[in-house]
Chain A
Amino acid sequence: MAEWTRENIAENTVSRRIMFILLVASVVFAALFFRLAWIQLINGETYRTLAEQSRYVPRPVAPRRGGIYDAQGQPLAISVTTASFFATPREVVDSGQAKEIADQVAAALELDSETLLERITDTKRGFVYIKRQVPDGPAAAVKSLGLKGIHWEEESERVYPKGTLLANSLGFVGLDNTGLGGLESSFNSLLAGQTVAVLAEQDKNGQRSAGVAQRTTTAPVDGVDLILTIDEVIQYICERELGKVTELYSPEKAGILIMEPQTGRVLGMAEYPTFDPNNFGQYDEQNRRNFLISDVYEPGSTFKTVVMAGALEEGVTSLNQEYGCDGPVRFPGGMMVRCWRAVPHGRQTFMEGIQNSCNPVFIAVGQEMGKELFYKYLHGFGFGQKTGIDLAGEADGLVLPQNKCQDLDLATMSIGQTTAVTPIQLLTAFGAICNGGRLMKPQVIKEIWDAQGNLLETVEPEMTRQVISQTTSDLVLRALETVVSQGIGKTAFVEGYRVGGKTGTAQKVVPGVGYSEQEFVASFMGVAPVNDPQIVCLIVVDYPKGDTHGGSAICGPVFQAVAKDVMSYLEIPAQVAPALVKATSLEEVTLLDYVGLTTAAANSQAAAQGIEITLVGDGEEIYAQLPLAGDQMLRGGTVVLHTRLPKVPAAPQIAVPELTGKTAAEVAKIAAAYDLHFDLAGQGVVMYQQPSPGSMADAGSRVFVGLEKPLEAGVLEDLAGP
């Protein structure tokens, strides 16, 4: 039994124990194998999902925010790209040239080299911002250096090249590229495009992995460009005239709204107070409101046009019907409504009542219509409901419910009180009265283009409903023309054009007190030309200070100035010498064709028809006539005959942008959007410019821009536009 020696027993022990160890090891590895299977196969999906989520750090990549352009394609709001520079300290340090990098970057971006060096070598941080929103010039300089560890992100900045122009309608964009008011807000989702959180994979140093497994799901979708129906020039005209009237009367607020009655397209929306959307933070919330659509007021006499249209359409009255004005109209309960004039108008036709804006006449008409018919037109013209204009924050207006309407209410409503409307509502209704009775949906957007230059949508005019007939519309227009030619609207007279309109002077409602005796809203609502309405315009001046508060005195001249320039800009031919309109005779004649005749022949033919002529120019032969042959004209009217063709229209006018405080690079950016030549002199930021901001300059003309520090004499940098 040799096996039983001590040595053998020891050997056996060794073997047994090795086997034991092997057994333990096998169990351990088997356990690990199953553990691995558990993690990879059973729980794999869970970990994979979590890993996907953790792998990518979402970095929002903002698309280009779409621009807003006027009807002619002039930029009103554009987005420019600026670069924000940052450094990755680890890369900077690893390059071994930290000092050189800091020096070069500091020189290009005008920073302190030593401070910068300290920051960009702070390896404890994944990345440090060097400078944000660097304009193009210095940015390009830094980019071209190609330095290690210096990176940048493109960031978008909103620029309103025309400053305050149309600001209340445009709105503004907050820091997070979100529209906060006006079009920027109501079209935010379209303008902003789709911000895509690009999932950028990061490595353990907090850097974006260079070329390795980087992933984006989809490309950001750039925002669309909006082409407005608003024309920059018309808008400018409105703002210029609004500026004058607000300077004279320091109103609480004031606005001018111009619309194309046939289509409902808004051509201009000027508002006071306003703001510069480039620096929106410096203005009150009140300045940024778009009150023409968001605030209601009691319109007063301008509302009489609506009453007139309804009454004439229903045949309740006619323009020749006679009414009496014998002082205040009394109602049960001792209430009375006075006429605006202290001395009663006496007996007058409805037509004269309109010309005089006589309250008792309209109260009588209102009572004749009765509640039912009155409300039919109140609702028919869209009062008490939104017009549906493409702007955010529109108000409904306030209409007294029909079942609560007493005779007194009907009376006050007939003269434009009690009912609260928004200016856009009133002008939309007025547009329907002027265009043959079609209530159009007001529009500010004409076209929508995508970023690649494809036309996405042309916004077609949209009729809400037919409210009155063409006949009624013509009757009202004729009556309104006489308001301007004979009535209280004479201040609005536009030389050479047949215009119509209605003044309004409404008492403001003071909460808790009733109608104020001091606070008024002066307004004028006009149409031109009356024989073929091209524009309707509403001017509202809320609480004017000073000697006068009447719509005729304050707003009439504004309409006159605006309509004159706008019609000239729209190349609507001048029609008559208005001083010679004899509106007492409503007989119309058809104009003959004078073109080609001699001045003498024209004179004799005109005399035969009872038409007077005004010759323009000293030629012998008639080259043009206004109104055109075949047009209807009231007997006694004047035809303008040109012996020389009118001058070629001047080059389009462009509002010069505000450049003060901008850098040369920023000016260059703005220059690209203008058909103007900018002559820059000096360095630094803009100190002065000629012509001054906001003034109109011919397209292609030169704008001299003086910068902070003068250069050597004679060095001018020409940053010509396209």
Chain B
Amino acid sequence: MLGGVISGVSVNSNRRESNAPPQNAYRRTRRAIPRPAARRRAKIIPMASLRQPPAAPLRDRKVKADMGLLLTTICLLGIGFIMVFSASYYDTVSENIYYYLQRQAILTGLALAILIGGINIPYSWLRRFRSIDKQILLVTGVLLAAVFALPEKSDAHRWIPLAFGFNLQPSEVAKFTVVFYLASLFSRRRSGINTLSGDLGKALLVVGVAAGMIAFEPDTGTAFVLAAAAIAVLLAAGLRWVYLFLAGGAGVIAGVCLILRSPYRLDRVLGFLDPWQDPVGNGFQIIHSLYALGTGGLLGAGISNSSQKLILPAQNTDFIFSVIGEELGFIGAGFVVILFLIFTWRGYLIALRCPDKFGRLLAVGLTTSISLQAAVNIAVVTQSMPTTGITLPFISYGGSSLLMSVVSVGALLSISRYRPAADKPSHGAAAKPPQGKTGGKAWASD
């Protein structure tokens, strides 16, 4: 069972912490638990649990932030730093070949600073922002509205220009703040998640408005990711499945409506099914993305040797994964996929470990947002779903996307630092899951 393995690993990486993952309680309810295993575990646990008073859920303890998540993120940032330069230097070869490298260097520096910040920010400090969740939401709303007041760029209202040619992309901000608001909302009360007139209604309104505005920019991909992250938060918060299915149905209807409203979306779907039908139009990007990946083969053409980057539009943003595939081959591209899988696993693990509901929901939302965005991006590039303009987190060139992703990681790192010991009796030693034969081995292998 996946759950068993994961809990085993979690303990493995924090063996002195003697934490009690919540799912242990769940196991207890389902299984007849052999006591000896629990007792053996209990011998180790009290040492740690004695150091701290049990019920102090919001007091930070000196626990290291999740190094797995941090290293994965840094790895992805490093790949991004190199590959953005490799993918885009040709665009500026006649003026300043290092244009993108310089900008990406600034952004990567900022990103590392944010990560360091994230490691050092106590969870309690992060949690304090709950009190101004509505204000944060309001600012987000203003930003989302502001783009429509600004002139179009690349046929879309997506950016608010800042200094030095950098742009703020409010939809990227919204992905973070909406999740933050939802986490805040559903951690405040225990009930209300399934009451349409209560919190669920509020949540749907906020998500609907935000995703709707983003979809109108138009930025369907980001709207989709935001909505999906919100659904993940709702699910984690205990939403009834039936609502999800209803929402899913509504989503399909909304999707159909969007396609009917803007025919280009339908073209994208058609382009995805058979790109060779329109090789110089809708199919162009996908075809050249496949060419790039195919050319890369197993070992790749070598860094800077991509040929498709000369032709492929958005080769340094939405389609940077194609360039990675061509230059680093399946070895490199597959490694990126694995990094995102590790990221996803660490992200949800942080959520699982977090004893505080706010932190847990926030971690679920942020992890989902980044992982899903990565999955969608890779799916698009590999002709696994219709084309939607969405960046590859940490890797694609783009300030807002990069910084907001890193801010999310910062928050996750901060959450990872917060660990209860035996803060809740019900999660404590007594509730340790006495394992079956397999489970026992997992524990024993610590």
Contacts and interface: CB of A to CB of B under 8 A. Distances in A.
A39 B294 contact: yes
Given A11-B25, A12-B23, A204 B292 contact: no
A32 B294 contact: no
B330 A37 contact: yes
A72 interface: no
Interface in A12-67: 12-23, 25-26, 28-33, 35-37, 39-41, 43-48, 50-52, 54-55
Contacts of B287: 54
Interface stretch (A209-217, A421-429, A574-582, A663-671): A209-217
Contact of A202 (B310, B334, B344, B345): B310
Nearest to B382: A35
Interface stretch (B103-111, B174-182, B229-237): B229-237
Q: Is the interface of A mostly helix, strand, loop or mixed?
A: helix
B235 to A, nearest CB: 5
A203 B348 contact: no
B410 interface: no
Q: Which of A13, A43, A210 has the most CB of B within 10 A?
A: A13
A3 interface: yes
Contacts of A20: 235
Contacts of A4: 29
Q: Which of A2, A11, A26, A35 has the most CB of B within 10 A?
A: A11
B290 A39 contact: yes
A51 B25 contact: no
A5 interface: yes
Contact of B297 (A5, A21, A48): A48
Interface in B113-170: none
Nearest to A211: B93
B294 A43 contact: yes
A701 interface: no
Contacts of B313: 204
Contact of B294 (A13, A44, A55, A212): A44
A203 B236 contact: no
B240 to A, nearest CB: 10
Nearest to A3: B25
B366 interface: no
Contacts of B382: 32, 35-36, 39
Interface string B312-327: 1100000000000100
A12 B22 contact: yes
Nearest to A32: B378
A380 B439 CA distance: 107
Pairs of residues from A and B, 8 with the lowest C-beta to C-beta distance, nearest first: A47-B294, A51-B291, A40-B330, A12-B26, A203-B310, A22-B348, A29-B341, A2-B426
25 contacts: A10-B238, A11-B22, A17-B235, A18-B351, A19-B3, A19-B6, A19-B23, A20-B235, A25-B341, A26-B341, A29-B375, A33-B338, A36-B325, A40-B293, A40-B294, A45-B294, A46-B294, A47-B293, A48-B297, A51-B288, A51-B308, A203-B90, A209-B310, A210-B93, A210-B94
B339 to A, nearest CB: 10
A6 interface: yes
Given A25-B344, A32-B378, A39-B325, 19 more contacts: A3-B426, A7-B190, A13-B238, A15-B21, A15-B352, A19-B348, A20-B235, A21-B236, A26-B2, A26-B345, A33-B334, A36-B337, A39-B294, A40-B296, A40-B330, A41-B298, A51-B291, A55-B311, A209-B90
Contact of B291 (A8, A28, A29, A47): A47
Contacts of B25: 3, 8, 11-12
Interface in B216-239: 232, 235-238
B310 A12 contact: no
Interface of A: 2-8, 10-23, 25-26, 28-33, 35-37, 39-41, 43-48, 50-52, 54-55, 201-204, 209-213
Contacts of B311: 54-55, 202-204
A112 to B, nearest CB: 29
Nearest to A209: B310
Contacts of B310: 201-204, 209, 212-213
B337 A14 contact: no
A52 B297 CA distance: 14
A17 B235 CA distance: 7
A620 B194 CA distance: 141
Contact of B298 (A33, A40, A51): A40
Given A19-B3, A44-B296, A44-B297, A6 B190 contact: yes
Contacts of B28: 3
A15 B371 contact: no
Contact of B375 (A17, A22, A28, A46): A28
A677 B93 CA distance: 49
A32 B375 CA distance: 8
A5 B426 contact: yes
A41 B330 CA distance: 7
A43 B372 CA distance: 26
Contacts of A55: 291, 307-308, 311
Contacts of B364: 18, 21
Given A22-B348, A29-B341, A202-B311, A14 B371 contact: no
B186 to A, nearest CB: 10
B329 interface: yes
Q: Which of B90, B312, B345, B425 has the most CB of A within 10 A?
A: B90
B297 A16 contact: no
Nearest to A212: B90
Given A26-B345, A201-B310, A40 B329 contact: yes
B348 A54 contact: no
A21 B235 contact: yes
A35 B288 CA distance: 16
Contact of B334 (A3, A7, A37): A37
Nearest to A25: B344
A14 B238 contact: yes
B70 interface: no
Given A29-B341, A48-B294, A10 B190 contact: yes
B238 to A, nearest CB: 5
Contacts of A33: 334, 337-338, 341
B201 to A, nearest CB: 20
Contacts of A211: 93
A635 B345 CA distance: 123
Nearest to A22: B348
B422 to A, nearest CB: 13
B295 interface: yes
A213 B305 contact: yes
A11 B351 CA distance: 12
A35 B232 contact: no
B384 interface: yes
B312 A204 contact: yes
B420 to A, nearest CB: 12
